[in-house]
Amino acid sequence: MSRIPEELKYTKTHEWFSVDAGVATIGISDYAQQQLTDIVYIDMPKPGDDKKIGDVLLTIESVKSAEDVYSPVNGKVIEINMELEKSPELVNEDPYKNWIVKIKLDDEKYNFLTAEEYKKYIGE
């Protein structure tokens, strides 16, 4: 069983995000980090990059595979979690505390799954 905090928004591609004052904070779900196994590297976007919904936002390398993380929102990357450059395994340890990027929203046109919907979606 994986952890799915109630207050967050989720995607079918296993990202989570929360929106506060026009800024989305984005990470990957507990289910996603479990599937990936040991995360060893995160190929980060650059602050200033424009991302549309469904664009590849960044790539996570684990011992097992490399997986793309998709943008759940439209906007501009304004911050990346620098701590993860040195210690990407923090995402394995707590994927919700350790967000990966922040995006300043262009609009509010995002879709999402609620925690309950996401839980059903991954079959837990």
Does 50 bind other proteins (CB under 8 A)? Our answer is no
Give me the 82-121 binding string for other proteins, x by CB under 8 A, dash otherwise. ------x---x-----------------------------
Measured CA to CA in angstroms, residue 10 lies from 26, 31, 49, 85, 103 at distances of 10, 11, 22, 24, 16
Q: Half-sphere exposure of residue 87, counting CA atoms within 13 Å on the CB side?
A: 9
Element spanning 78, H or E: strand 75-80
Whose tokens are 């998709």? That residue is 70
Q: Report in angstroms how near the CB of residue 105 gets to other proteins at its nearest.
A: 22
Beta carbon of residue 66, minimum distance to other proteins (angstroms, whole number): 5
The residues binding other proteins (CB under 8 A) are 13-15, 28, 32, 34-38, 40-41, 43, 59-61, 63-70, 88, 92
